[in-house]
Structure 1
Amino acid sequence: MTDSQLINLTQAQRDRLAFVELRLRFMGEIRRQDLVTRFGIQAAAATRDIAQYKELAPGNMEYDPKAKVYVCASWFRPLFDFPIKRVLRWLSQGYGDAEPSHLRGVIASEDTGLPSRIDLALLSILTRAIHRGAAVKISYRALSSGLTTREIVPFALADSGLRWHLRAFDRRSGEFRDFVLGRFDDASILPGEVADHETSAQDIQWNRITELELVPHPANVQHPDTIEAEYGMEGGVLKVRTRAAMAGYLLRRWNVDCTDDHNLKGGEHHLWLRNRQALYGVTNLVLAPGYDATGKEW
């Protein structure tokens, strides 16, 4: 897309074209109805948007007459330069899919995130596999085994608060696991159907919802009403429902003391888990502050 072509487009047009590219690149397909639903425009306007995108990027999409959908071409080359944070936000929250903007926010703000090596082209292969329900052959760097090649069946993205993961069935171990997005080196979608036991419906930890009861730390917090106000607690407790697969990440992110007698010291432990029994059967508790790594029962 040249500067002159950009000048001739309205902001609304650029936003719709950016949406076309996001759907095409990360979902692998775009339908006219997707534009109609997202922007509340008429079908004729959606047709013009798709035609305009084809004109600006003639090699990026192909029409599948059988499925009646435009699909991502193998020689796809992006028009828009989306930051990885914007893409992950769109994939996980479904908004903010307008044209990339490098303008600063309306007020000053900063974050403390560390840089993460996530390749958008590789991410698009993984998200297309999720959308299609397909298996993927990957090259992945694990802490325990280094660079390995394996086959996985991905079905969801997961934000731990510190970094992004891919939830998938790992055919090598026969288990559902989390894969850090920044540790993928390569990926390609595999042909064929996946087995029933490889689908998200069989992931017990993902489908189990547990309710955590968080309260001001009895030993470390001198004024519990401050914590109650900060987190909007009701009756002195904050009840948080989360997937069992995400419980460890949540407890680690918020430094929740998970010991039976709230004995973790330090100003970072403002919260205590009042109902440890809710964690029975949760498998990633090695992340939870106060977890006994020796395996001794709580």
Structure 2
Amino acid sequence: MRWEDIKRYQVIEALLLWEGKLNARQLMDYFETSRPTAQKYISEYKQLNPTGFEFVSQQRAHIANDDFTPQFIDLEFSSYHALFNTQGEHAVTSLVETLPQVHRNISPQLVRPILQAIRYQLRLDIGYISLSSPEFEDRIIQPHSLVFDGTRYHVRAFCEKNQDYRDFVLSRFSGEFAFEGEATFDEAHDTLWQTDVTLVVCPDHRLTELQKKVIAHDYQMTEQKLELKTRAALLKYLLQHLRLDIYQAAAEQQQIVIDPECRKLLAPYIN
């Protein structure tokens, strides 16, 4: 199946799943195409999912059945948002407002040598700047992965200067580089990367029981607990993403905390 077809089916499914109805005008706006072509897209998808929706003449739209099950997207609302966030000028996409994004200093010229070093397992001599060293200095690293923490990208690599695995902010590399032969350390040697941990969060104990139930419902907790699996090397980024790295004075601001027993178990990995 061509990617163009998959994209059309994803848009159709997102509209049916999340808005409950679909008409040709929505596809005409999204794909900037004619009505006959939009109708063709719907007919083609109907052959793949014949019982998932039906045309209701009174509403002049295709309505999703109660048991409509998508085949090309998952059930996360983020899929709907991602599909329509890239087509902001169309009326069909104006239902979700997105805050402006802060773009880091990342370019293909900067990322290319790092990706090559990861893919081909190479030692990389590259300039890097940090808050402790505000001038670029050469670092020889052996990177094995890129990490996105929800805000910025990091490079997980063995640092020959520190003789240990470190995280480097991707936007702080200079882009000037040289390959220094084959890597001798990879992700298999990275103990924290290979260590799986489970973060357990729960409603802040300072909340009332009714407030705790609200938080538990919001985060889809089971028995007022939510388990999140990650690598020990990435735990700090998960805590930052959930805003658990800073303890708020007001329970309504904090909302969720690390389960006390979990905090004891994860203490060696929480800086």
Q: Under TM normalisation by the shorter chain, which class is it? A: 0.5 to 0.7
CA distance in 2, matches of 1:268, 1:250: 18
CA contact (8 A) 1:135 1:194 kept: yes
CA distance in 1, matches of 2:186, 2:245: 34
CA distance in 2, matches of 1:243, 1:217: 24
How much has 1:254 moved relative to structure 2? 1.1
Q: 1:140 aligns with which of 122, 128, 147?
A: 128
CA distance in 2, matches of 1:252, 1:235: 24
Q: 1:245 aligns with which of 233, 239, 245?
A: 233
Which structure: larger Rg? 2
Unaligned runs of 5+ in 1: 1-9, 16-100, 287-298
The alignment covers a number of residue pairs equal to 184
CA distance in 2, matches of 1:162, 1:175: 25
The residue that corresponds to 1:190 in the other structure is 179
CA distance in 2, matches of 1:140, 1:212: 32
The alpha-carbon distance between structure 1 residues 140 and 270, as it changes in their structure 2 partners (threshold 3 A), is same
Q: In the TM superposition, what are the counterparts of 1:192-231 in structure 2 within 5 Å?
A: 192-195=181-184, 198-220=185-207, 223-231=211-219
CA contact (8 A) 2:109 2:175 kept: no
Unaligned runs of 5+ in 2: 8-84
How much has 1:192 moved relative to structure 2? 2.1
CA contact (8 A) 1:137 1:152 kept: yes
What's the TM-score, normalizing by structure 2? 0.61
Code of the aligned partner of 1:204 = T
CA contact (8 A) 1:129 1:189 kept: no
CA contact (8 A) 1:151 1:171 kept: yes
CA contact (8 A) 2:127 2:177 kept: no
List per-residue Cα deviations over 1:144-165 (Å, max 9, x = no partner). 1122111101111111222110
Q: In the TM superposition, what are the counterparts of 1:19-168 in structure 2 within 5 Å?
A: 103-104=87-88, 106-107=93-94, 108-146=96-134, 147-168=136-157
The residue that corresponds to 2:257 in the other structure is 272
CA distance in 1, matches of 2:105, 2:245: 31
**Greater helix content:** 2
The alpha-carbon distance between structure 1 residues 11 and 162, as it changes in their structure 2 partners (threshold 3 A), is closer
List per-residue Cα deviations over 1:109-156 (Å, max 9, x = no partner). 313532211112211221121111111111111111122111101111
The alpha-carbon distance between structure 1 residues 112 and 256, as it changes in their structure 2 partners (threshold 3 A), is farther
How much has 1:187 moved relative to structure 2? 4.1
List per-residue Cα deviations over 1:160-213 (Å, max 9, x = no partner). 222110100111110101110111112435142222xx2111111111111111
CA distance in 2, matches of 1:257, 1:142: 21
The alpha-carbon distance between structure 1 residues 151 and 214, as it changes in their structure 2 partners (threshold 3 A), is same
The alpha-carbon distance between structure 1 residues 102 and 280, as it changes in their structure 2 partners (threshold 3 A), is closer
What is the root-mean-square deviation in Å for CA atoms of aligned residues? 2.8
The alpha-carbon distance between structure 1 residues 136 and 119, as it changes in their structure 2 partners (threshold 3 A), is same
CA distance in 1, matches of 2:245, 2:168: 26
What's the TM-score, normalizing by structure 1? 0.56
The alpha-carbon distance between structure 1 residues 170 and 176, as it changes in their structure 2 partners (threshold 3 A), is same
Asked if 1:235 corresponds to 2:223, the answer is yes
